[in-house]
Amino acid sequence: MAWAGWLRRHLMLYRVFCPRYMMAAALLLVVDVVGILVSLAGVRTNTLSIGDVFGWVELPVLAGWAPYWATREARNGWSV
């Protein structure tokens, strides 16, 4: 209790500045989340635009084998 009386001016500084630091931390978190969402939306938009211009890359068929969902017949609705 004696330390509180001795350091009362410093304790007042915590009372004044602590809410400001907490608000700054919350705002930083919000800005980071918004930035991540905007960048992910941009990557998605660019990927779709590039896919429209150049087409989608075919999956490589290794040694003549590919899963059924990767074959042209499966995508065109044909049965194998």
Helix (H, G, I), strand (E, B) or coil at 78: coil
Q: Which domain holds residue 26?
A: 2-76
Helix residue ranges per DSSP H, 7-78: 8-54, 72-76
Q: What are phi and psi of 67, to 5 degrees?
A: -65, 155
Q: Give the C-alpha separation, 18 to 25, whole Å.
A: 11
Number of independent structural domains in the chain: 1
The tens place of each residue's pLDDT in the chain, 80 residues long, gives: 667 667 666 667 677 777 888 899 999 999 999 999 999 999 999 988 888 888 776 655 555 565 655 566 666 665 54
Q: What's this model's pTM, rounded to 2 decimal places?
A: 0.53
